[in-house]
Structures are given as structure tokens and as C-alpha cells.
């Protein structure tokens, strides 16, 4: 299966710029749809979890729609999932935002308020991301053909703190260094917005489409 024939579903739980992500995926050649329907999400070759807003409300919405269990089910099947901004944070065990809430528990760790020092929050704008290698990877397929340092557009006040540094794929600095990209199994997460990050963001989404195509390809006998 090629990246141009892959179908990627943007998970619709009522929070986040879903249509912008859909349009960006179509721009890189994927067939994209926005849906909360379980059948459509199960049929897709890959999923994107978008998100803008507060962690506790987002988890509440996922649970109300039964999407929390569906996402875990798809990950157990090895289906690639990309979390964007709040969508990445939701993959962690918990967040301290608004008194705290439990997350999906895909990536061990906690989401905490960004330690920005004297810099104002939210952190809004372009910031250079330094990509790293972990678990013996020569390089993650998510960042193929991207330079080791590359600027992406960020909008956030909280940042993930993985329990295992081997899950870290990229970091940036805003007052202090924070994690802005992770990978664990078939889950990929980015704190920044690739759909707002020009050529580099489109390259990353194109890479994710290729990851989905490889995962969906039939195994040769």
C-alpha cells in the first residue's frame, strides 16, 4: 500500500482543529476523514488525535464517546496513532492541569505546567526542535528526511514529562528544556502543530502517512 492510498482518520471528540489536520493530511496525499464513529475509526489505516483545550475536559469527552478504549484497542493491534498538541498529552498517565486527571496511559509519565521561568504562558510561536535517537533507533520514521534541528509551531502551557527518557523523540526550549515529541510502540506524539508548521510539518505528516501504509500493507506469504 502506498502513502497516497492510505486512509487516516482524525478522531473527532469535539476539541481541536480537526479540519486543519484533515486538510494537511490530504495535502500530503493521504485519504483523510474526521469522525467519531467507531466503525470508521476501526477501518482506518491510522489515527490522529488532535486537541486544543484543557486535559480533564478532553479525557471526559473521550470517555463519554467510548473513544478511550477504542484508541487503546487500535494501538494493541499495532495501528499507528499520532497525537498532536493536547492529543499527545492525553497519551500520558495523568496531568496536573485544573486539579489533575488521569490520561490514556499509553506513555508512562505526567503532564505538568511548562517551566517557562520569566517567559509568559502560553508558549506561542515557532521553536527549534532537537530530535534525538532512542531504543537503538538509527532514526524514527516519523522524522525521516527532517534535519536534526528543525522549527515547528507551538501553542501550549503544559508539557509532558515521560517516565522513560527512551520514549523521547524531540525536545525544545522555552525557559527550560521540555519534551515536544515522543514515540512508544506504534504511538507517536508531537506537542507542536505540524499542520501549522509549513514544509517541515507537512514532511512529518507525510512520514506518518508512510508509516500507516507500511503497517497496513499485506504480509507476503
Q: Catalytic residue among 85, 97, 123, 156, which? A: 85
Decide if 4 contacts 41 (C-beta within 8 A): no
Q: Catalytic residue among 22, 154, 195, 212, which? A: 195
Phi and psi at residue 45, in whole multiples of 5°? -80, -20
Is 156 annotated as catalytic?
A: no
Buried b (16+ CB within 10 A) or exposed e, 66-102: ebbebbeebbeeebbbbbbbbbbbbbbbbbebeeebe
Name the residue among 28, 24, 34, 40 with its Cα closest to residue 3. 28
Q: Catalytic residue among 123, 154, 156, 193, which? A: 193
Is 195 annotated as catalytic?
A: yes
Decide if 82 contacts 40 (C-beta within 8 A): no
Can you list the alpha helix ranges (DSSP code H) found in the chain? 18-27, 38-43, 55-64, 67-76, 86-89, 198-216
Is 85 annotated as catalytic?
A: yes
Q: Check residue 53 and report its DSSP letter.
A: S
What residues act catalytically? 85, 193, 195
Amino acid at each position: 500500500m502506498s502513502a497516497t492510498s492510505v486512509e487516516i482518520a482524525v478522531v473527532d471528540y469535539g476539541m481541536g482543529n480537526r479540519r486543519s489536520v484533515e486538510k494537511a493530511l490530504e495535502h500530503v496525499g493521504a485519504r483523510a476523514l474526521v469522525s467519531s464513529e467507531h466503525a470508521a475509526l476501526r477501518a482506518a489505516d491510522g489515527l490522529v488525535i488532535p486537541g486544543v483545550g484543557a486535559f480533564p475536559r478532553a479525557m471526559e469527552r473521550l470517555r463519554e464517546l467510548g473513544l478511550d478504549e477504542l484508541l487503546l484497542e487500535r494501538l494493541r493491534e499495532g495501528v499507528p496513532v499520532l497525537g498532536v498538541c493536547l492529543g499527545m498529552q492525553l497519551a500520558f498517565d495523568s496531568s496536573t492541569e485544573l486539579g489533575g486527571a488521569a490520561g490514556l496511559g499509553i506513555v508512562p509519565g505526567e503532564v505538568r505546567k511548562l517551566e517557562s521561568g520569566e517567559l509568559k504562558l502560553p508558549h506561542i510561536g515557532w521553536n527549534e526542535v532537537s530530535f534525538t535517537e532512542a531504543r537503538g533507533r538509527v532514526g524514527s520514521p516519523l522524522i525521516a528526511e527532517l534535519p536534526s534541528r528543525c522549527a515547528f509551531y507551538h501553542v501550549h502551557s503544559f508539557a509532558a514529562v515521560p517516565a522513560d527518557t527512551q520514549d523521547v523523540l524531540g525536545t525544545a526550549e522555552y525557559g527550560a528544556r521540555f519534551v515536544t515529541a515522543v514515540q512508544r510502540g506504534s504511538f507517536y506524539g508531537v506537542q507542536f502543530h505540524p499542520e501549522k508548521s509549513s514544509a517541515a510539518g507537512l514532511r512529518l505528516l507525510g512520514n506518518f502517512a508512510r508509516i500507516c501504509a507500511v503497517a497496513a500493507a499485506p504480509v507476503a506469504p
